[in-house]
Amino acid sequence: MAEDDEPLMGRPRQKLVETKEKWAREGRALTGRAGKDRLPPGQRLTAEWPVLDLGICPNLSTDDWSLSVGGAVETPLKWSWADFMAQPQVEQTSDIHCVTTWSRYDNTWNGVSARHLLACARPRSSAEFVMFRSYDGYTTNVPLKYFDDDDVLLAHSWEGAPLTRDHGGPVRVVIPKLYFWKSAKWLRAITFMDKDCPGYWEVRGYHDRGDPWREERYR
């Protein structure tokens, strides 16, 4: 599958999109505080893992899934599921902080570390940003330095079991230091970029970076 956006598998829930755009305009949940406590400002703890998406839930098997890596890299990649699972596997435990104000502590993930992928793809020195593209047409951008971190991975399992379809299986991104909309579900492509480019929520009023401790919820 090419890196260019594919047609959506269905249509986003327009009311949901409009509601979240309204939150961005109004600065919903902003407290004006900042810090480095484990629980970022404006967040509340939950033991559940709420399901959030655009209303499109791709029905992907591991046979259907592949990952393309390209853009400003020396070695473009195309991994099948077998290729992906043949890479060194890691286990990480981290917290989730969702821009909709919930946080969940101590999530255990299994997958391939971002730094291993970086070593394989070898981004060019000019690359400063990353775009994630999903099988539902979703996109989100992050500065490369946030992807190049020791707690970031491409996860296929959560709490010892394969990621469910609702939560982004077969593979999703996990970037614990940013709000969870940056951790794209149903990952299909990663594009390294010399210049920044906003993703789906970023063009709808959400922050370009998304640091929870700085309350970077909205632009």
Residue 143 near residue 135 (C-beta atoms within 8 A) = no
pTM over 0.85: yes
**Confidence bin at 8 (pLDDT 50/70/90):** very low
Owner of token pair 């906003």: 198
**27 vs 132 pLDDT, higher one:** 132
Average pLDDT, the chain: 91
Q: How far is CA 50 from the centre of its chain?
A: 15
- Is pLDDT at 7 greater than 60 in this prediction? no
**Confidence bin at 69 (pLDDT 50/70/90):** very high
Owner of token pair 């992050």: 142
Q: Cis ω on the peptide bond leading into residue 170 (within 30° of 0)?
A: yes
For the residues of 42-102, what is the DSSP string, one character each? T-EE-SS-----SS------TTT-EEEEEESBSS-EEEEHHHHHHSPPEEEEEEEE-TTSE
Tell which residue, 170, 128, 136, 174, has the closest CA to residue 153.
174
Tens-place pLDDT, residues 76-128 = 999 999 999 999 999 999 999 999 999 999 999 999 999 999 999 999 999 99
Q: Which CATH superfamily is domain 14-214 in?
A: Oxidoreductase, molybdopterin-binding domain (3.90.420.10)
Q: What residues pair up with 157 in beta bridges, in sequence order?
A: 110, 162
> What pLDDT does residue 18 have?
76
Domain assignments of the chain as residue spans, ordered by start: 14-214
Tens-place pLDDT, residues 170-209 = 999 999 999 999 999 999 999 999 999 999 999 999 999 9
**Residue type, position 7, single letter:** P
